[in-house]
Structure formats: structure tokens, C-alpha cells
Amino acid sequence: MFSVLRGFARSRSGSMMPLFLVMLMPLIAVIGFSVDYTGAVQTKSNQQQALDAAILTITTMDTTSTLAQRQTLLQDSFAANGGQGTATLTNFVAGTATTATTAQATASFAMPTVFMSIARINTVPIAVGAAVSKPPALVNATFKVSGVSGYWNKKMTLYGTQFGGTTAKPLMTIDYTYGNTGDPKGYGTTNVNVLTTDSTGKTVTTLVQKQVCTVGKNPPNGVTLLKDASGTSYYCVDTMYPANGPGASIDVSQMGGLSLQMYVPSGNPQYLQTNDPTTSNRLYSGVKDPQTNQVTYNETATGQIVDIFSVVPCGATAYQAWEDGGNSVPAPVSNADFFYNVTGKCDYNKRPSETALTQ
């Protein structure tokens, strides 16, 4: 290129073409440099997106994963998302039940130039960084019936979808059968069962709580006599299996999604689901006021999908209720016939949706 310019400079011919070409060269260089600069900007954007995706991926690994394994996945995911060069995990701190998991990573790449090589600039360094924070998330949920009533038989089922799976499977059932008490409210028997799978793939049903509610004024010793809004006296006897058991303790640490379904054979509709925006408004969620010891319930707004992970607090008890279809909604929670509480335990969880980019 420079020899051509020297040839133009020594030329004594009368043509203006050499002079025009000499004047054109800086313009070509400027345009060329702008092309390389634009390419560098686009490459940096692509690198950042690839690193963001990669660092989010490593927060879904098992807690037993080593730093070397996380580094390998970071690099593989970075490359799979179009990243070029090397991605490096600079820091990773595993979270606990009360602290967030954090991670930082960088990526570097020497982008080859096209036009800037004229000025002997053969590469442009591209460097990006990313950081994430992942708070503790629900890993276990324990359900316990507090009171079920009504003339209609009904069953609530907790469904979970494992990471990488597409089919939800039942994890727990709460099954109510009306006891023909004949009073205005109606009482019966409720069984709470945990569903697990044995080594052969067969579903194993384990009874963890049985509640029998009866109309009458003479409860057994230690059982509280209650009175409903209709003035009916009744009492409920709870039996836990084992006797000191907490209820249905469900491991949800491997679940990417959770949903609740209420099946009411006599209802219309028969199926009420938290992940169905047309029926989720049958669910009430509440918290207890520590001062008054009273639970305040909020009905799910029509058209919403309920994230079960978000309505079960860490290390605390949440209160939920269902209106089984006997009354139109919105309606006061006093119309509901299905009450239970759920206590959440939180820790590091593989769910990607809990993670937030901080850089």
C-alpha cells in the first residue's frame, strides 16, 4: 500500500487520477476504521449477552458442584450462546438459608480487524463482565389442614414439575369426604397424603394427617369446642402420622414449577387451578398479625396465575383457603370451605427464575 503511494508521489504525468486516488485513501481509511469500530461494538454486545446467559446457567447447578465444574459449564455455555474467547469465573459464593448466592465472571476476546490493520492494529481487545445474586428460595413446604367443611366432596392436589421436565406429577393430596352431618355448614373427614415414587416407579401414598369434624357439644378431652356462623356447635379431632409429625412435608428443591388444583366433582367448574387464570381467583392467601394473632386473607385477583413459590414465605407459615365453587367470587373468605397452612423452608435452590443480574 505504501509503495503505491510513493509511486503516485513520484509521478510527473499530467493525469489527475493519481492525485485523486491519494486524496481518496484517507476517506477509505476513515470508512474502514468505522466499520471495524461498529464490528467491535456489536461483538461486545454479543459477548455480554453470552456471558450473562452463561453466569445464569451456573447458578442452576447442584450445590455439590466444584468450582472447576462451574468454570467448565460457564465456558461451554458462553460458547454455546455465541461467545468468543475465554470466559472466567472470578468468584462464586454459595448461599445458605439466609444469604444469597453470588457469582462474578469476565470474558475477553481479541477481535481481528480488517481495515485497522493498515495502521498495524491487527486486533481490538473486547472485555465484558457479569455478576449475579440469587436469594434463598423454597426447598421444602409442609402442609397441614386447619379446617375443611361443606356438603361437596373435594380433593386438593399439589403438582410439581421437575427441572428439565414438562409433565407435572402429584406430590400431595388433601381429600375431604362429607360426613352427612345434616347441619347448614356440613362437616366430614379429611385425609392428607404424601405421594412418592418407589424404585419400581410405583406411586406410594402415605397418610400424614387425618381430621374428623363432627357436629356436637361434647368434644374429647383436649379438643376445642367450636361454633360456626350458623350457630352450629362442632369440633375437629386431628390425628397426625406419626403422632408428632408436622403434616405433609414436601421436598420441592428439584422442582422448577409448583401448582395447586382443587377437584370438586359437584362443582362448576369441577377443576380449580392456581396456574389457570380463569379459576385461580378461588384461592385466598393470608398472613397472621403477630399482635392480634388474626389471619388476614387476600383473594387472588381474576386473571392472575399464582406462583406457589412466591406465596410461601421462608421460615414462616402462610395461610391459604379455597372457595370450592358454592359461591361466586369475589367473595369474603368466610365463604371458603377449605383451610390449611403451609410452612416454607428456604435454601439454595436450582430454580433460574430467582436469579438477578447485578452487573
Domain-terminating residue out of 134, 155, 185: 134
Q: How far is CA 76 from CA 50, 181, 341, in A?
A: 10, 64, 43
> Are residues 61 and 7 part of one domain?
yes
Task: Give 315's DSSP letter.
Answer: T
pLDDT of residue 51: 92
Query: pLDDT of 48-89, one tens digit each?
Result: 999 999 998 898 888 788 999 999 999 999 999 998 999 999
- Continuous segment of H or E residues that includes residue 5: helix 2-10
A 10 A CB-CB count for 141 gives 25
pLDDT of residue 254: 87
Q: Is the pLDDT of residue 15 over 60?
A: no
The C-alpha atoms of residue 41 and residue 58 are separated, in whole angstroms, by 26
Predicted TM-score (pTM) of the model is: 0.77
Give the CA angle between residues 42, 44, 49 to the nearest 5°. Answer: 95
Q: Which of 278, 285, 261, 275 is nearest to 158 (CA)?
A: 261
Query: pLDDT of 311-325, one tens digit each?
Result: 898 888 999 999 988
Number of domains in the chain: 2
Residue in the structure block whose three cell numbers are 397441614: 144
> Are residues 326 and 177 part of one domain?
yes
As a whole number, the mean pLDDT across the chain is: 87
pLDDT of residue 194: 97
> Are residues 103 and 31 part of one domain?
yes
> Are residues 32 and 161 part of one domain?
no
Query: pLDDT of 97-144, one tens digit each?
Result: 888 889 999 999 887 876 666 656 677 788 899 999 988 889 999 999
pLDDT of residue 20: 47
| Cβ contact 137:354 at 8 Å | yes
pLDDT of residue 160: 95
Domain-terminating residue out of 134, 164, 186: 134
Q: Is the pLDDT of residue 33 over 70?
A: no
> Are residues 278 and 258 part of one domain?
yes
> Are residues 162 and 103 part of one domain?
no
Look up residue 149 and give its three cell numbers: 367443611
> Are residues 150 and 260 part of one domain?
yes
Longest dimension (CA), the chain: 123
Rounded to a whole number of angstroms, the distance between the first and last alpha carbons of the chain is: 44
Domain range for 80 is 2-134
Q: How far is CA 204 from CA 198, 248, 328, in A?
A: 7, 14, 36
> Are residues 59 and 182 part of one domain?
no
296 in a domain, yes or no? Answer: yes
